[in-house]
Structure 1
């Protein structure tokens, strides 16, 4: 322990650190923080509990994790930050606890959060997500696995961002981003499929071609939204297509923010 924890680090006696955890100079680890094996805590990192951090994470200097939410509804109830395994959390990232007794802000596995990313209360980030520098997520944002967010953009509260989508830099995200799509601009629009990401994903060629047909139906046809979603049923039954259909229907029915529209003939979502 003495060889892995810098002598200037301040660690609460009730914090639980696996013997393989490394802690850098002037880090502060508070009560009710639990850190699993092979995680590295950089210099000047601040961790407040309740907070759980999994195996093999690297948390770089200046990050602040587990602070109380920036939410006036929060009145001190016990809430959490829960972080999975093998994440890279770069310099000066902030991750706030949730609002609502027993609720958690959750980060999955294998994510990269670059410098100055802010993750607001009650956010969910699944697995394999990359968020570039200076991105701000408001409360209750849900990002599905393998999404990509470019730098210097903001995401409105209660927005849902679909799997394997790509968001261009400095984009304003105030509505849901459908899976597999490339979104960019202010106001933001669906520009195309995330072609590069889908090709790199190893998706079978037939499934990829099916998504291309789905994109043309949704964003370049004269069909109304409900008609377009129903038309997707004629394309077959791939895993990706079913997920896209469920996402679109849930976004419309849930009373959330609605969907970011495209640029094509179908203007119903604008």
Structure 2
């Protein structure tokens, strides 16, 4: 169902059962999968590849030119997976020659007024809260949640199943399974509520808590903490994911609350 007052470039590839409401604009070199709904006044620019059963709300702008002075009109893309929702006035920039694409996975929710900049990679089942502002090259892993009004520094990585509290300034990497809060941002425990909702057992959650005691509660530097984790704790998928994330972090991970305010109190 394509309304006559919508603008669709003749070179755009739109599946037959896509709904495009009046005053929406879809430019050339756009592909939209089956069952997707594009609301009035949404704008989908060149290079967008939108999956099946997505919902694009009024005022959203997808695949706009990057807000990067180094961008030189190179051919880049914006990829959005199936069943993802982009709410009102959210903006998603396409990639630059650094990564060539901006990616949002499947089954994500990007809330109103959020901005996802060039070359960001957002995994599957992620929630990006109202007015979250993500600079370029941010990597958000699967099942992560960034709460409203947060700002994420360029090149930051947010681990899988992590939870970032509202109005946070995220300048450092947020390791897997953790909660991030306070200013400056610091460890606030593990995301036990989210993990239980996703089927993690009590034994797995306890194991993750024990791992982060080495990282955040014993006063160790990261290298010593990782050495003891691998030496003293049994191997598991969760242990290896945490260790690999911290070991490969380029910006460094968020601090311990002991380093921030001398208190070990967890939220």
Instruction: Name the TM tier (shorter chain).
Output: over 0.9
Please identify, of 208-217 and 132-141, the stretch whose mean Cα deviation from structure 2 is larger: 208-217
Deviation of residue 51 (structure 1)? 1.3
Say if 2:76 and 2:101, in contact at 8 Å, map to a contact too: yes
- Alignment-derived partner of residue 244 in structure 2: 246
- Alignment-derived partner of residue 153 in structure 1: 150
- Alignment-derived partner of residue 76 in structure 1: 73
Deviation of residue 264 (structure 1)? 2.9
Q: TM-score, normalised by structure 1?
A: 0.93
Query: For the residues of structure 1 that align with 2:254 and 2:99, how far apart are their CA atoms?
Result: 32
- Tell me: CA distance 1:101–1:49, structure 2 relative to 1, closer, same or farther (3 Å): farther
Say if 1:138 and 1:155, in contact at 8 Å, map to a contact too: yes
Deviation of residue 223 (structure 1)? 2.4
- Alignment-derived partner of residue 227 in structure 2: 230
| Aligned alpha-carbon RMSD (Å) | 1.4
- Alignment-derived partner of residue 35 in structure 2: 38
Say if 2:98 and 2:119, in contact at 8 Å, map to a contact too: no
- Alignment-derived partner of residue 119 in structure 1: 116
Structure 2: tracts of 5 or more residues without a match: 262-267
Query: For the residues of structure 1 that align with 2:221 and 2:46, how far apart are their CA atoms?
Result: 48
After superposition, residues 57-206 of structure 1 pair within 5 angstroms as 57-100=54-97, 103-206=100-203
- Alignment-derived partner of residue 5 in structure 1: 2
Deviation of residue 102 (structure 1)? 7.2
Say if 1:56 and 1:85, in contact at 8 Å, map to a contact too: yes
1:108-152 deviation digits (Å, cap 9, x = unpaired): 100000100100000000000011100000000000000011100
- Tell me: CA distance 1:101–1:219, structure 2 relative to 1, closer, same or farther (3 Å): closer
Say if 1:170 and 1:185, in contact at 8 Å, map to a contact too: no
Please identify, of 214-223 and 26-35, the stretch whose mean Cα deviation from structure 2 is larger: 214-223
Deviation of residue 265 (structure 1)? 6.6
Deviation of residue 236 (structure 1)? 1.1
- Alignment-derived partner of residue 260 in structure 1: 254
Task: Kindly tell me the number of residue pairs found equivalent between the two proteins.
Answer: 260
1:56-113 deviation digits (Å, cap 9, x = unpaired): 1011111000110000000101011011100011000100011117710001100000
Say if 2:184 and 2:260, in contact at 8 Å, map to a contact too: no
Query: For the residues of structure 1 that align with 2:151 and 2:109, how far apart are their CA atoms?
Result: 17
Deviation of residue 174 (structure 1)? 0.7
Query: For the residues of structure 1 that align with 2:205 and 2:99, how far apart are their CA atoms?
Result: 40
- Tell me: CA distance 1:216–1:54, structure 2 relative to 1, closer, same or farther (3 Å): same
Query: For the residues of structure 2 that align with 1:172 and 1:66, how far apart are their CA atoms?
Result: 25
Deviation of residue 159 (structure 1)? 0.3
Structure 1: tracts of 5 or more residues without a match: none
